[in-house]
Amino acid sequence: MITQTLFNGLVTGAIISLPALAITLLFGVLKFPNFAVGSIVTVAAYAVFALNVQLGWPLLVAAVVAAALCGAFLILVDSVIFRPMRDSGSITLMVASLGLGLILENLARFFYGNAARSFDLELSMPFRVGALRMNSEQLVAIGMSALLMLAMYLLLMRMPMGRKMRAIADNPSLALVRGIDRAQVIRWTWMINGTLLAGAGVLIGMDRALEPLMGTNYLIAIFAAAILGGLGSPLGAFVGALIVGTSSELSTLVLPPGYRTGVPLCFIAAILIWRPQGLFGRPLIRR
């Protein structure tokens, strides 16, 4: 029972690690928490749905194309909405992301309604490994999340663009003095955001179903994961997501399942009270 719950939690953690990494990267570069993240996941999932079910493309191809489209869309959104507000403080950007989230969620509702939908996938039978029941969707979720995490690690640690992103997250003025093109880094960050969020959309759509609130439902868990790991720390986001996923599944053993989403909130509260920099963040030096 416990191992089964742990495994389910691992799957949930793998799914939320992608958006958690997305907001943590964006926070590093643009310094605001993006509340639209849940709705972007939803819209990306519906984009995959349109390509996969309505045009009949294979799911993998649909996901890759949707990821690219989602990244391009986010770059466009940034240049129209967020760039003009860049200097007016993080609260303005937060409120704007809230508004953007409402627009996107309701665009999905406008075009596809409130009914739950699913991708064009063959039904897979759950199978047993030892005492564990699992299905192929869950394995895909873990595999895909691990793959994207590895890719992100290589990008951030081994590639010039990753180094630039880290430099800007670390010290924007110094990065600027060193001739790093901030606009280019921001575009890349949104592109990566698009890929990660579209990936999360596919995984949530496979694990549960597509509906207008599919991404927003995870919003608290996503922020809990990112804060637990320390906003701005990619490795932290990954570990934080696994902790949040497993602990909220484990909580269903002792608490009514309705409170599952309350557990991440307790993590947020605890971490902000005792260790505001997160598990993997460094203490901020403030003015």
Binding site for other proteins (CB under 8 A): 27, 31-33, 35, 81, 84-85, 88, 90-92, 94-96, 98-100, 102-103, 106-107, 109-110, 113-114, 219-220, 223-224, 227, 231, 256, 258-259, 261-262, 264-265, 268-269, 272-273, 276, 287
Cα 284 to Cα 176: distance, rounded to the nearest angstrom = 20
| 150 exposure class (CB count in 10 Å sphere: 0-12, 13-18, 19+) | exposed
Is the CB of 58 or the CB of 276 nearer to other proteins? 276
Residue 202 CB, shortest distance to other proteins, in Å, is 23
Is the CB of 114 or the CB of 177 nearer to other proteins? 114
Q: Which residue has the tokens 């599952």?
A: 260
Is the CB of 80 or the CB of 129 nearer to other proteins? 80
Question: How many helices (H) and strands (E) in the chain?
Answer: 11, 2
CB-CB contact of 83 with 21 (8 Å): no
Is the CB of 223 or the CB of 238 nearer to other proteins? 223
Residue 137 CB, shortest distance to other proteins, in Å, is 27
Q: Which residue has the tokens 């670390």?
A: 170
CB-CB contact of 100 with 92 (8 Å): no
Q: Amino acid identity of 120? A: D
3-state helix, strand, coil in the chain (%, to 5): 75, 5, 25
Residue 97 CB, shortest distance to other proteins, in Å, is 10
Radius of gyration of the chain (CA): 19
Is the CB of 93 or the CB of 148 nearer to other proteins? 93
Residue 133: strand pairing partners: 128
**Closest listed residue to residue 120, CA positions, set 78, 61, 80, 192:** 61
Is the CB of 26 or the CB of 202 nearer to other proteins? 26
Residue 168 CB, shortest distance to other proteins, in Å, is 17
Two tokens at 206? 């496979």
Q: Name the helix (H) or strand (E) containing 51.
A: none
Residue 176 CB, shortest distance to other proteins, in Å, is 22
Residue 94 CB, shortest distance to other proteins, in Å, is 6
Residue 278 CB, shortest distance to other proteins, in Å, is 10
Is the CB of 92 or the CB of 136 nearer to other proteins? 92
Which own/partner pairs from 269-274 qualify as long-range (CB within 8 Å, at least 24 positions apart)? 271/227, 271/228, 272/227
